[in-house]
Amino acid sequence: MESRKLGTRGLEVSSLGFGCMGLSFPGAPEKSESIKVIRTAFENGITFFDTAQRYGDNELLVGEALAPLGDKVKIATKFGFKGGALEFKIDSSPENIRASAEASLRRLKTDCIDLFYQHRMDPNVPMEDVAGTVKDLIQEGKVKYFGLSEPDTTSIRRAHEELPVTAVQSEYSMFYRAPEQDIIGTLEELGIGLVPFSPLGKGFLTGAITAETKFDEKDPRNMSPRFDEENRKANQALVDLVVLVAKEKAVSPAQIALAWLLAQKPFIVPIPGTSKAHRIQENIAGARISFSNDELNAINRALEKINIVGDRYPKAVQSKIGK
């Protein structure tokens, strides 16, 4: 697989990463199978793996799967929630950042975290204190690169002045294009990479979800207004477009969604997640698809005519995470 540089600080990774979160959430396979999936991703050329303290036992899983591979892989994890609890208890105090780093190092079975993201902005802690604490961890050799997850442009600029930001992680896909409004331009200006999570729109862009789809009662998409039955009907035009382009290119809709993301900017590295080895192969093949300028312009013109309805999160959650 080809590699890409995230930012201008030297972090080079595979052009597709692997989002490990789903391997620790309801519906995930057994631990041994999850480890096998992670290692299959590596064996097929993926060198960039994403986890977080907040994802249950995910760091432990990723550590067990990847520790034997040493510096052949790059692992990103996140801080910013008190004690790593599943509740939204934001805490980016210097003390908690340090405690989170030490805990992540133990769980990941490593002596240095490759990329350390602030998981969510903390309104109670100045960004200068957050970045300054990570700067200290970098100087101590416990962290290599600094990242932000779901920040606004003001936070990006404030952090970058204190400590160069290597990557920003935000949701970005054909299904959610808000980063195009100002985030991507800011990243390009400052030399920061973009790591889109949910690049397949939480499965919506695969073409396998319709208005009639019934999710398992534990499926987190049940909480998302975007996945309400009526909103799925309203957003079907997007799926129809992706399916049409996929037929024209004789590939899958998921591959089109990933190829489109990669075509937007050379500093973009999506992190699709899956629990199935054959989906890894499919996603990697999507990274090899290219569009002519005419093809890409035609897709973008069609996207501009489609109005996506439905919020990403329930209002109660949005008020806590700021998005």
Distance CA 207, CA 201 (A): 10
CB-based contact 262:15 (threshold 8 Å): yes
Give the pLDDT mean for 311-317: 75
List phi, psi (to 5°) of 85: -65, 155
Give the pLDDT mean for 202-222: 88
Nearest CA-CA partner of 22 in 48, 41, 50, 46: 50
What is the second-level CATH architecture of the domain 3-321? Alpha-Beta Barrel (3.20)
Q: What are the tokens at 44?
A: 């097929």
Residue 319 has pLDDT above 60, yes or no: no
The tens digit of pLDDT for each residue in 242-299 reads 999 999 999 999 999 999 999 999 999 999 999 999 999 999 999 999 999 999 999 9
Q: Which residues pair with 195 in a beta bridge?
A: 169
Q: Read out DSSP for 151-189?
A: --HHHHHHHHHHS---EEEEE-BTTB-GGGTTHHHHHHH
Residue 189 has pLDDT above 70, yes or no: yes
3-state secondary structure at position 235: coil
Give the pLDDT mean for 98-114: 97
Active-site position among 55, 117, 145, 172: 55
For residue 25, name the pLDDT band (cuts at 50, 70, 90).
confident
Strands 18-19 and 11-14: unpaired
Give the pLDDT mean for 127-156: 98
Residue-range domain boundaries for the chain: 3-321
pLDDT at position 222: 85
CB-based contact 309:234 (threshold 8 Å): yes
How many other C-beta atoms are found inside a 10 Å radius of the C-beta of residue 167?
25
pLDDT at position 320: 52
For residue 322, name the pLDDT band (cuts at 50, 70, 90).
very low
Distance CA 73, CA 48 (A): 6
pLDDT at position 88: 63
Distance CA 282, CA 258 (A): 10
Beta strands in the chain (DSSP E): 3-6, 11-14, 18-19, 48-50, 74-79, 113-118, 143-149, 167-171, 193-197
Give the pLDDT mean for 113-123: 96
Nearest CA-CA partner of 271 in 86, 21, 61: 21
Residue 103 has pLDDT above 50, yes or no: yes
3-state secondary structure at position 134: helix
pLDDT at position 169: 98
pLDDT at position 323: 43
Distance CA 289, CA 54 (A): 34
Residue 203 has pLDDT above 90, yes or no: yes
Q: What does pLDDT average to over the chain? A: 93
pLDDT at position 85: 46
Distance CA 224, CA 51 (A): 22
pLDDT at position 318: 58
Decide if 145 is catalytic: no
The tens digit of pLDDT for each residue in 47-95 reads 999 999 989 899 999 999 999 999 999 999 999 998 544 456 899 999 9
Residue 125 has pLDDT above 80, yes or no: yes
